[in-house]
Structure 1
């Protein structure tokens, strides 16, 4: 299991927000889990061989297919378990029979200041004559809370780790 821990103790953060993911105890304060947000421009990638840009030079395509989260929260900490579903499709120039890439998980404040970010490497083999394969990866995220804080102050962003050229390709080919 992979783990990302955000160290957030001394940050001035705003209060209030949406009530999505509300966790409340009868005797304790209301604890809200953070929103999980895929980064739209980093939900998919097209990786080419060398400096290619022709469709015959596609090594593979990958995408962030889905994210599911389980949240356990109390006054001291939020623990998220993210199930990250990825898929890859083999391109005509894929000689390796596999797709290797990374995705990221980042914890940020409501105003999108990144507090912690980690990348996770994945390898997806195209066995036999398979051209599209899926993978389920699990990541644990721990967010310590200062007194009075809830998950309302945080966002968790996910996306594929793109090169500048891959990001530009995504922007041009929406």
Structure 2
């Protein structure tokens, strides 16, 4: 896989980590086992059966936790740094033919940044849902995040260029929403 394509795959997988931490790692493990994804040296463990089993259990627990009304908001706080770290790992693990310094630099900036933007957007969406409905509609947000993570993972591995443009558009929407929210809180004279 050439470096540019690997970067696009990594960014897509990082975005999926912003929705759910373990769904993309599970997808990466399964894709590696089936030969659809080549992992960087040192990251082959992601495609091992023990890792896939661990990611499967972690995915089930993460999904279940987001459907418990009070726990979902706590999970957003706890998983924000985990999503960024998972995004960094996801990107670094697919960048195969570059120096370690460049691999980690790109992974931290592009992978961690993308995962952080998506996670921040979903955190704000869940917060707005909690305020508007007292948490009743959070189950819809959780379902959307799960679908988003699974779909983004599949697209990143199978059709990375489409995933890249969708993730880019979503990041722009989230950033614009955050900027507009910040401006609204400051008021017209600030």
Give the TM-score, by structure 1 length: 0.28
The structure that has the greater radius of gyration is 1
TM-score for the superposition, normalised by structure 2: 0.27
Q: Which has the higher helix share?
A: 2
